[in-house]
Amino acid sequence: YYKIMSKDDGKSKGFGFVAFEDPEAAERAVAELNGKEIVEGKIMHVGRAQKKAERQQELRRRFEQLKIERMNRYQGVNLYVKNLDDTIDDERLRKEFTLFGTITSTKVMMEEGRSKGFGFVCFSSPEEATKAVTEMNGRIVGSKPLYVALAQRKEDRKAH
């Protein structure tokens, strides 16, 4: 049994279902066909059909895993910078911190085109970030002394 899913106008939606009597045959089809190029540039994705609840559970699990990986990646390299002068934008923030190492991103938080007075600087290593905190915390940039610390997740901030 097979069913190709189609739109109201009869055109294919680009996916379908195949039912196998033999579970081993189904597993073989997934193993041999998943990731295979079927038409120039078109890769076929073949997997076991899942109930909606199963699919959602899998997506939630993957999302949580990604969140943990991202948290670990930025642990100790992302700095929170507050008390920013209104004249400081992303580029100026990068310029002020570039002396301490490789910066992967800078972001001054804005609202309606105006600085909210804080931002983030992300370094490529914890050593660079630590050096920047040591050197930049309390330093006057523009007309104000900066407050610089390792950025904390919202949950961690609320716990203290």
Q: What is the DSSP letter of 98?
A: G
CA–CA distance, 5 with 25 (Å, rounded to integer): 22
Per-residue pLDDT reduced to its tens digit, 28-79: 999 999 999 888 888 888 988 888 898 899 889 998 888 777 666 656 789 9
The overall pTM is greater than 0.85: no
CA–CA distance, 62 with 68 (Å, rounded to integer): 10
Three-class SS of 32-49: HHCCCEEECCEECCCCCC
Domains in the chain: how many in total?
Answer: 2
112-146 as b/e: b if 16+ CB within 10 A = eeebeeebbbbbeeeebbbebbeebeeeebeeeeb
Q: Same domain for 91 and 154?
A: yes
Q: Residue 150's domain is classified under what CATH number?
A: 3.30.70.330
Q: Same domain for 129 and 90?
A: yes
Per-residue pLDDT reduced to its tens digit, 89-131: 999 999 999 999 999 999 999 999 999 999 999 999 999 999 9
CA–CA distance, 103 with 39 (Å, rounded to integer): 42
Q: What is the domain range of residue 122?
A: 76-159
pLDDT of residue 39: 81
Q: Same domain for 96 and 148?
A: yes
